[in-house]
Amino acid sequence: MADPAGSPAATARPRVLLTEEPVPQTGPTSDQPMGVYEVALNAGTDSSSGLATAGVCTAKYLPTEWHLNNSELYHKAFTGCEQAQRGRAEAKELAEYAAAAAQRAQQDSTASVSQRLQDIHFWKAELQRKIEDLDAETRLLAAQKLRLERALDATEVPYAIATDNLQCRERRQAPDLVCDEVERELLKEAELVRNIQELLKRTLVQASNQMRLNRDHKEFCEMDWSDKVETYNIDDKCGKYSNQSTDIQFHPSSVKLEESASTPETWAKFSHDNIYRAEREKLASLSLRALIDNILHDTSEDLRKQCAAVNEAFAKHCEELDDTKHKLKYHLKKILKEIGYQEANIAALKRAIKDKEAPVKVAQTRLYDRSFRPNIDLCRDEAQFRLISEVEELTESINSLKKKLLESEQTLRNLEDTRMNLEKEIAVKTNSIFIDRQKCMAHRTRYPVVVKLAGYQ
């Protein structure tokens, strides 16, 4: 019985029996086909064929063939064991290498996922900060926009006051219906209010547009942040997978890269651009808020200064009207007194003229009677000359008195006209004072305060 394959005896004997080096076997023993031997037909002198061998099997091997067949079997067994041992060693080494490589790859992948989580967390935190900044900035800008709306509403009162004052002063009577300093200041105030209203309306449009941009970029950041949150959760879940996880399975189709997938550079640039644009809009909103604050401060100050200028012009003009009215009354009082004196003077002149009638009658009667003196007694004596002189003197005196009476009457008429003009002018000044002080200045007490003009109320 032959020794088991691989023992020293089995390996020694084939080497003694083999007459030539066997061909190395390249394939496994199981792949070799079974040897087929043809039955030799012995026809030679040494052959056993013949009548003596009738009924006996003639398909026999030669001893060399028998030894060769055994040697081949030994060699195949030896090489098979050797290849199996080498295959086991290589398989073990390959399995150990594959296990180590798989462990290293899994560790590297886990580290990459962890690093990726840090990157995602960084951008997610930056995006969240920008979202909060934009949200806070939008609320502050909305408060400034509300101030603008309040300030715009508050300007309606100054404009109504200015236009009402101008309309009221149109009811002044001549000659007080003049374009004075008060009217010029009122026109400046109305123009200032209109300009401020236009400025506030333009600024309101700017604020609305900036708020819309803030919300748009906030929405972009929120969408990016939402994607980052979802990605973080996915990668966090992936980072927690291990070989002992129960929810892992094969996904052969997941190995291929998506055509629409981004690169790390484009991925980071996308979030960076969103943050940059959000920061840009935040700074623009901050600048606009500062501008709105300055506009509201300046416009409220300008309106209050112009209001003070108008009030000062009104006060000054009312003082002038009061002073003029006082002077007119003083002159009216003098005119009335003078009219009284003049009327008394006229009465005295009329009495003086009337008083001269009797002396004239006496003198003329004397001359008339003496004209009837007879003959030679009709003499141009001293008495005649004195009577003629008396009549002439009285006539001249009466003419002078009449002339003076005419002058006095004209003076009286002039005084009466002056009195009427003074009384009319006093009435005009009274009306002007009533309009400026009782109507306009009283209406101006409703002028909004600086706090309301600045939009705080």
pLDDT in tens, 226-240: 999 999 999 898 888
Q: What is the mean pLDDT of the chain?
A: 85
The CATH number covering residue 142 comes to 1.10.287
Res. 7: pLDDT tops 60 = no
Residues 362 and 294 in one domain: no
Spatial separation of the C-alpha atoms in residues 195 and 1, rounded to whole Å:
126
pLDDT of amino acid 332: 93
Number of domains in the chain: 2
Res. 49: pLDDT tops 60 = no
pLDDT of amino acid 58: 57
Residues 307 and 390 in one domain: no
In a domain, residue 22? The reply is: no
Residues 165 and 142 in one domain: yes
Q: pTM to 2 decimals?
A: 0.68
The band of 256, judged by pLDDT with boundaries at 50, 70 and 90, is confident
Residues 160 and 303 in one domain: yes
For residues 251-263, give the mean pLDDT. 79
Q: Please state, for a pLDDT cut of 70, what percent of the chain lies above it.
A: 87
pLDDT of amino acid 32: 44
In a domain, residue 167? The reply is: yes
Residues 170 and 286 in one domain: yes
Res. 109: pLDDT tops 70 = yes
CB 11 within 8 A of CB 75: no
> Taking the CB of residue 220, how many other CB atoms lie within 10 A of it?
20
CB 136 within 8 A of CB 440: no
DSSP 8-state class, residue 29: G
Helix (H, G, I), strand (E, B) or coil at 141: helix
pLDDT of amino acid 264: 86
In a domain, residue 441? The reply is: yes
Tens-place pLDDT, residues 266-299? 999 999 999 999 999 999 999 999 999 999 999 9
CB 110 within 8 A of CB 257: no
Tens-place pLDDT, residues 131-180? 999 999 999 999 999 999 999 999 999 999 999 999 999 998 888 888 98
For residue 428, give its domain range. Answer: 332-372+379-450
Q: Which of 55-69, 124-138, 145-159, 302-316 has the lowest mean pLDDT?
A: 55-69
Spatial separation of the C-alpha atoms in residues 88 and 81, rounded to whole Å:
10
Residues 356 and 297 in one domain: no
* Cα within 13 Å of Cα(14), Cβ side: 23
Tokens of 248: 């892992």
Residues 294 and 352 in one domain: no
pLDDT of amino acid 57: 52
Tokens of 438: 């009782």
Residues 312 and 181 in one domain: yes
Res. 379: pLDDT tops 60 = yes
Residues 303 and 366 in one domain: no
